[in-house]
């Protein structure tokens, strides 16, 4: 029975997980068949999503594509309205499909670089295939620099174009 790293991880997880997160039980139908959970969680059912941050980083490097990480919560109205605008925006979906590795998470990772100014939702963070978090690619809100609202889809699209200009093209 091994502890060690796990205990470190535990501290990080405890810090990372807010008590406001949705309980998985809420997805359980009391009777009848459950609808299988999807990796897209409604952010683009036709896109290919990575399951974990490790997987996403691997594919970003292997395919030399930028990674978009979306942090959201199922019960958060801001997340829901942004998700709707995001999923319905054909330009965003097209560029993601062709040029990005994508990941959406309802739990924080243990990597603090993914929360440059806090762990609010929704927030969208870009990571270069050189494994550098693009903290320079921000939305329009100075108190929550990585937040986007439904009216910000054009800004998000332009930020996606920025993220496509890789930091180190030789990698």
Count the residues of the shown chain that bind its own copies, applying the rule CB under 8 A. Answer: 57
Q: Shortest CA distance to 81 belongs to which of 117, 48, 39, 121?
A: 121
Site string for its own copies, 21-60 (x = CB under 8 A): x--xx-xx----xx-xxxxx----xx-xxxxxxxx-xxx-
Alpha carbon 35 to chain centroid distance?
23
Residue 94 binds its own copies, judged by CB under 8 A: no
Residue 123 in the binding site for its own copies (CB under 8 A): no
Binding of its own copies by 5 (CB under 8 A)? yes
**Cβ atoms 79, 72 nearer than 8 A:** yes
Among residues 64, 110, 119, 153, which is the contact residue for its own copies, using CB under 8 A?
110
Q: How near is the Cβ of 151 to its own copies at its closest, in Å?
A: 27
- What six digits make up the tokens of 49? 């999503």
Please provide the DSSP assignment of 51-107 as one string.
Answer: SSHHHHHHHHHHHT--EEEEE--TT-HHHHHHHHHHHH-HHHHHHHHHH-EEEEESS
**Interface residues with its own copies (CB under 8 A)?**
1-7, 9-10, 13, 16-17, 21, 24-25, 27-28, 33-34, 36-40, 45-46, 48-55, 57-59, 61, 105-113, 116, 127-128, 131-136, 167
């Amino acid at each position: 029975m091994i502890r060690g790293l796990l205990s470190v991880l535990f501290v990080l997880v405890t810090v990372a997980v807010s008590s406001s997160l949705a309980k998985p039980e809420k997805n359980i139908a009391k009777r009848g068949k459950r609808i299988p959970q999807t990796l897209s969680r409604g952010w683009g059912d036709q896109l290919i999503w990575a399951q974990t941050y490790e997987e996403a980083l691997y594919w970003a490097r292997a395919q030399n594509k930028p990674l978009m990480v979306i942090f959201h919560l199922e019960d958060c109205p801001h997340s829901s309205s942004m998700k709707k605008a995001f999923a319905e925006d054909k330009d965003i979906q097209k560029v993601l499909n062709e040029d990005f590795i994508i990941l959406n998470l309802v739990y924080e990772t243990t990597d603090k670089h993914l929360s440059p100014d806090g762990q609010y939702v929704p927030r969208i963070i870009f990571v270069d295939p050189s494994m550098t978090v693009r903290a320079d690619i921000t939305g329009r809100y100075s108190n929550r620099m990585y937040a986007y609202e439904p009216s910000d889809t054009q800004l998000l699209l332009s930020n996606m174009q920025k993220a496509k200009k890789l930091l180190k093209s030789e990698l």
